[in-house]
Amino acid sequence: SYVLTQPPSVSVAPGQTARITCGGNNIGTKSVHWYQQKPGQAPVLVVYDDSDRPSGIPERVSGSNSGNTATLTISRVEAGDEADYYCQVWDSSTDHQVFGGGTKLTVL
């Protein structure tokens, strides 16, 4: 089965740029979606199809995907960005959805 690997945690100071990676075999050939989850809340879609943003998501949130790594980038990080972030893809070989293990973003 397809495996997505995320770092357990990323820390960044306010105003700096946070980069959260999602590794997978040839993930650049897949469409990657990202979710933000704050404590006690349901996940919220922040990026879909590698780099598109749903309405209401600020431009400082962006995504990229190439080779074996997809990246969620949050510029000018704010305290309100502190959350868990998950990547998700559809595995065509099994026709199943797959989530990464999640990354806890801490704003110092």
Partner 1 sequence: QLQLQESGPGLVKPSGTLSLTCAVSGDSISSSDWWTWVRQPPGKGLEWIGEISHSGSTNYNPSLRSRVTMSVDKSKNQFSLRLTSVTAADTAVYYCARMHPLDLKPSYYFDSWGQGTLVTVSS
Q: Which one, of 92, 85, 102, lies nearest residue 46 by Cα?
A: 85
Q: How far is the CB of 10 from partner 1 (least distance, A)?
A: 15
State the Cα torsion 21-25-31-34 to the nearest 10°: -30
> Residue from 23, 45, 51, 69 that binds partner 1 (CB under 8 A)?
45
33 token code pair: 């979606």
Select from 19-27, 63-71, 73-81, 94-102 the region that touches partner 1 (CB under 8 A).
94-102
Q: How far is the CB of 91 from partner 1 (least distance, A)?
A: 10
